[in-house]
Structure 1
Amino acid sequence: MTRFLDLVHPAAGTALISEWLTGTAERSRTAADAVIDEWAAAETPSGRLAQHVFLSTDGASLLFYAQWTSDEDHLTWARAHRADVVSRIDALVPGIERPGLHRTRLHRSVMHDAVHPSGIFAVSTTAAVDVKDVAGPAPGLLAAHIHLTSGDERAIVFTEWADAASHDETTDDSTSFKRYTLHHSFLQGGDGTSLRNTDGTGRL
């Protein structure tokens, strides 16, 4: 399965993380596929470098991870186009809840195993000073990718695990997280050409 750093664009100035709560696996997949169709049909916005969609393992939600050259470029596109895109998705899958958008930057990645494929991604939010508690090392933890929110007070951490069992063995009930698999990925080259347009397995 795709590793997280395969999804990272080196020119990204901002990483946007947002969740859609759909309620069921069928609604999640329908919404995800509709978003993918929107991306494929539209001209790539100026400033958007990468866009990835993850499905939660419990089937109840989607996670979007987008990289843009800047927040300003994203806001320019969002003001002009986001409402139309969302309305078309909502016509297919009514009642999606959208808790909000986190504007972050990838602060650093902690690699424990760069060879083995990721079985799952786990995403958690913590105080920036507590990042070491989720970044490992731990059995089955392949890597942790630390994103800081504006002001550097909170961290959203993507961890890569060999499998769900490894994550279960090292996570206690006090830890809040969601687990995901990659559903689809778009990554643009510097000249606007597509470097990556794949499903979660890395297939074209």
Structure 2
Amino acid sequence: MTHLLDLIHPDAGTVLISEWRTGTPERTRAAADAVIQEWAAAEPPPARLAQHLFVATDGTGLLHYAQWTSDEDHLAWARAHRTAVISRVDTLVPGIERPGLNRTRLHRSVVHDAGPRPGVFAVTMTTAVEETENTENTATPVTGLLATHIHLTADGGRAIVVSEWTDAAAHETAAADAPGVRTYTLRHALTDGHGQEQYDARPPA
């Protein structure tokens, strides 16, 4: 997989992060395929700069990582088109749980090792922004940690931390007791709203 910083669009005014809980690998595969089909069929919104779809390593969900020119531009598109897109996906995969959309900005990235490609991305959502200070001040990272990217909501009240790891085993060893952490692999990408990249990551059978 590629590094997260390689996915960051320089003109992005907002980063939208949302989780879909699908429950099983079969439903996750079906939901991912449905989303990708919607992207391919629809006219790309000019304000959507990049859209990346990740699948949970345990096969129970998807993570959307979208970059838009601004929150206002995304809201305008959502009012006009989101309901139709979501309803078509829900027809194929009913019962998807969506805890909510997080509107964030990339606050800071700490790269420990830019060499190896990440095997998994770990995502932590927390209301304790102070926890990010530990990440920013870490001088010696744990084994397998390649980089950490801190996203803050517009009001600074929540932090979403995306960390890159060499593989799932390294992350499991380091974060065995950490609650609320989910790991993902990159499944599909849209760049500048047009070019599509397909990745090999699939939910486990």
TM-score by length of 1: 0.92
Q: For the residues of structure 2 that align with 1:139 and 1:177, how far apart are their CA atoms?
A: 17
Superposition misfits of 4+ residues, deviation over 4 angstroms: none
1:201 positional shift: 5.3
What residue is the counterpart of 1:45 in the other structure? 45
Q: For the residues of structure 1 that align with 2:143 and 2:185, how far apart are their CA atoms?
A: 20
Alignment-mate amino acid for residue 22 of structure 1:
T
Alignment-mate amino acid for residue 18 of structure 1:
S
Q: After TM superposition, list the pairs within 5 Å mapping 1:90-101 onto structure 2.
A: 90-101=90-101
- 1:199 matched to 2:198? The reply is yes
Q: Is there any run of 5+ residues in structure 2 with no aligned partner, and where?
A: none
For residues 27-46 of structure 1, the C-alpha deviation after alignment (integer angstroms, 9 at most, x for no partner) is 11111111111111111102
1:132 positional shift: 3.5
Aligned residue for 1:72, secondary structure, equals helix
Q: Is there any run of 5+ residues in structure 1 with no aligned partner, and where?
A: none
Q: For the residues of structure 2 that align with 1:124 and 1:134, how far apart are their CA atoms?
A: 12
For residues 153-204 of structure 1, the C-alpha deviation after alignment (integer angstroms, 9 at most, x for no partner) is 221010000011111121142432000000001111xxx653xx212359xx
Of all paired residues, the percent bearing the same amino acid is 60
Describe the shift of the 1:130–1:70 C-alpha distance in structure 2 as closer, same or farther (beyond 3 A).
same
For residues 48-72 of structure 1, the C-alpha deviation after alignment (integer angstroms, 9 at most, x for no partner) is 0010110001111100000000000
Q: For the residues of structure 2 that align with 1:164 and 1:132, how far apart are their CA atoms?
A: 24
Q: For the residues of structure 2 that align with 1:104 and 1:81, how far apart are their CA atoms?
A: 21
What residue is the counterpart of 2:18 in the other structure? 18
More off after superposition, 124-133 vs 59-68: 124-133
Aligned residue for 2:130, secondary structure, equals helix
Alignment-mate amino acid for residue 109 of structure 1:
S
1:118 positional shift: 0.4
For residues 136-164 of structure 1, the C-alpha deviation after alignment (integer angstroms, 9 at most, x for no partner) is 52111000011001211221010000011
Q: Is the 8 A contact 2:44 2:194 kept in 1?
A: no
TM-score by length of 2: 0.91
Query: Of the candidates 156, 178, 201, which is equivalent to residue 152 of structure 1?
Result: 156
What residue is the counterpart of 2:107 in the other structure? 107
Q: For the residues of structure 2 that align with 1:178 and 1:27, how far apart are their CA atoms?
A: 18
Query: Of the candidates 143, 147, 157, which is equivalent to residue 143 of structure 1?
Result: 147
**RMSD over aligned Cα, in angstroms?**
1.6
Q: Is the 8 A contact 2:27 2:93 kept in 1?
A: yes
What residue is the counterpart of 1:187 in the other structure? 191
